[in-house]
Structure 1
Amino acid sequence: MNKITAIVGSMLFLFLATCFYAGAEEPDAAGCSDHPLFTRMQDMRLVLCKTVKFDSFKFKTGKGTETVVEGKRFDIKYQTMAGSEYPGPLAIIRNHQQAITKIGGTVLFEDSRYTWLKIEKDGKEIWAQVDTAWMKGYMLTIIEKQAMAQEVTASAELFKSGLSASGHVEIPGIFFDSGKSVLKPESEAAVAEIATLLKADPGLKVYVVGHTDNVGGVDSNVKLSQDRAEAILQALVRGHGIDSSRLRAHGCGQFAPVASNDTEDGRARNRRVELVKQ
Structure 2
Amino acid sequence: MKPLSTVWMGALMLLVLAGAAAGQQNDAQGCKDHPLFTRMPGYWIHSCVERQFDAFDFIVGPNKKVSHVEGQFWKINYYPQHSLNPKPSELQIQRNFQNAVQKQGGKVVWTEKGRDTYLLVKDGVEVWVNLGAEFTGKYFLTIVQKQAMVQDIVADAAALAQGLAADGHMAVEGIYFDTGKAVIKPESAQAIGEIAGLLKSDPALKVFVVGHTDNVSTVEVNLKLSQDRAQAVLQALVSQHGIDPARLRAHGCGPFAPVATNATEAGRAKNRRVELVKQN
TM-score, with structure 1 as normaliser: 0.89
State how far apart, in whole Å, the 1-side matches of 2:220 and 2:126 are.
33
Q: CA RMSD in A?
A: 2.3
Please say which of residues 227-236 and 89-98 is displaced more in the overlay.
89-98
Tell me, which stretches of 5 or more residues in structure 2 are unaligned?
Answer: none
2:24 corresponds in structure 1 to: 25
1:223 corresponds in structure 2 to: 224
Q: Is the contact between residue 89 and residue 135 of structure 2 (CA under 8 Å) also seen in structure 1?
A: no
Matches within 5 A, 1:153-168: 153-168=154-169
Judged with a 3 Å threshold, the aligned counterparts in structure 2 of structure 1 residues 80 and 153 are, in CA distance, closer, same or farther, namely: same
Q: Please state whether the residue corresponding to 1:35 is helix, strand or coil.
A: coil
State how far apart, in whole Å, the 1-side matches of 2:271 and 2:135 are.
33
State how far apart, in whole Å, the 1-side matches of 2:155 and 2:131 are.
39
State how far apart, in whole Å, the 1-side matches of 2:180 and 2:102 are.
30
Q: Is the contact between residue 207 and residue 277 of structure 2 (CA under 8 Å) also seen in structure 1?
A: yes
State how far apart, in whole Å, the 1-side matches of 2:59 and 2:259 are.
30
- Report deviation, 1:6: 4.3
Please say which of residues 25-34 and 145-154 is displaced more in the overlay.
25-34
Q: Are 1:78 and 2:78 matched, yes or no?
A: yes
Q: Are 1:9 and 2:14 matched, yes or no?
A: no
Matches within 5 A, 1:1-278: 3=2, 5-6=4-5, 8-61=7-60, 66-83=66-83, 84-122=85-123, 124-133=125-134, 135-278=136-279
- What one-letter code is carried by the residue in structure 2 that aligns with 1:218? V
- Report deviation, 1:143: 0.4
Tell me, which stretches of 5 or more residues in structure 1 are unaligned?
Answer: none
Please say which of residues 33-42 and 158-167 is displaced more in the overlay.
158-167
- Report deviation, 1:29: 3.2
- Report deviation, 1:118: 2.0
State how far apart, in whole Å, the 2-side matches of 1:12 and 1:231 are.
79
Q: Please state whether the residue corresponding to 2:33 is helix, strand or coil.
A: coil
- What one-letter code is carried by the residue in structure 1 that aligns with 2:218? G
- Report deviation, 1:48: 2.8
- Report deviation, 1:137: 1.9
State how far apart, in whole Å, the 1-side matches of 2:96 and 2:165 are.
60
- What one-letter code is carried by the residue in structure 1 that aligns with 2:43? M
CA displacement, residues 152-188 of structure 1 (integer Å, 9 cap, x when unaligned): 1222222222222222211111111222222222212
CA displacement, residues 27-72 of structure 1 (integer Å, 9 cap, x when unaligned): 2334432212111111122223223332222224456764221012
State how far apart, in whole Å, the 1-side matches of 2:216 and 2:101 are.
32
- What one-letter code is carried by the residue in structure 2 that aligns with 1:100? V
Q: Please state whether the residue corresponding to 1:136 is helix, strand or coil.
A: coil
State how far apart, in whole Å, the 1-side matches of 2:218 and 2:52 are.
29
State how far apart, in whole Å, the 2-side matches of 1:116 and 1:3 are.
61
Q: Is the contact between residue 163 and residue 170 of structure 2 (CA under 8 Å) also seen in structure 1?
A: yes
TM-score, with structure 2 as normaliser: 0.88
State how far apart, in whole Å, the 1-side matches of 2:33 and 2:216 are.
32
- What one-letter code is carried by the residue in structure 1 that aligns with 2:68? V
Q: Is the contact between residue 87 and residue 136 of structure 2 (CA under 8 Å) also seen in structure 1?
A: no
